[in-house]
Amino acid sequence: MGASEETIELLKRIATATEKLVQLMQRPSESELNHTRGGECASEQDLDGQYGDPELKKDPPRWKGQRYAPCRMSDTCPEYLDELANFYDWQAAKDDEAGKTAGNGKPSSSYKRRDAARARGWAKRLRAGWKPPKPAANARPADDYNAIDDDSNTGGGW
């Protein structure tokens, strides 16, 4: 086999390996599979509502990545939220099996499923590139006690 034939054979092997890598990369990740297997996603209105971005007190037990708690759902990553949604779904199923109810008599599983839907909704938003809104340009920080007045540079002041 000549040098050019060896080069062609090597290029063919590289092309085959590259095609296999592209196929693997196009497969959905495990977290994406879990995300699509899950239940409902919360609506945009729910996520933007008063309770739509709940504070997380503990990380899900199976989560092995960066710790996020305590924080809000919007401050995490989609993979974390996928795991959180799976955990809430599992808790809801266990609550249903046990017949647990909240203080108001409603099944406690309904609240867990709503939180799971919110976690999936935030994961979807974050995957789409959502960023927190910027504060208004003319908004003044609440702790700006040392604001300088126009005539303060005359040497007067307090």
pLDDT at 69: 87
Cα distances (Å, whole numbers) of residue 140 to 44, 83, 89, 146, 150: 28, 38, 42, 12, 16
In a domain, 92, yes or no: yes
For each of the chain's 158 residues, which pLDDT tens digit applies? 677 899 999 999 999 999 888 887 776 555 444 444 568 899 989 998 999 999 999 999 999 999 998 999 999 999 999 999 999 999 999 999 999 998 998 899 999 999 999 999 999 999 988 887 777 666 665 555 555 555 555 555 54
State which residues form the domain around 54.
29-127
**Cβ 56 vs Cβ 84: under 8 Å:** yes
pLDDT at 25: 75
pLDDT at 140: 62
In a domain, 134, yes or no: no
In a domain, 56, yes or no: yes
In a domain, 23, yes or no: no
The model's pLDDT over 122-149, given as tens digits with 9 standing for 90+, comes to 999 999 888 877 776 666 655 555 555 5
Torsion 50-54-55-57 (CA) sign: positive
> In whole angstroms, what is the distance from residue 80 CA to residue 60 CA?
8
In a domain, 110, yes or no: yes
> In whole angstroms, what is the distance from residue 4 CA to residue 133 CA?
58
Number of structural domains the chain divides into = 1
In a domain, 143, yes or no: no
pLDDT at 35: 45
**What is the chain's percent helix, strand, coil content, to nearest 5?**
55, 5, 45
pLDDT at 36: 44
- Report the predicted TM-score, pTM, of the whole model to 2 decimal places: 0.61
> In whole angstroms, what is the distance from residue 86 CA to residue 124 CA?
14
**Cβ 69 vs Cβ 80: under 8 Å:** no
What token pair was written down for 147?
A: 């604001």
In a domain, 122, yes or no: yes
In a domain, 121, yes or no: yes
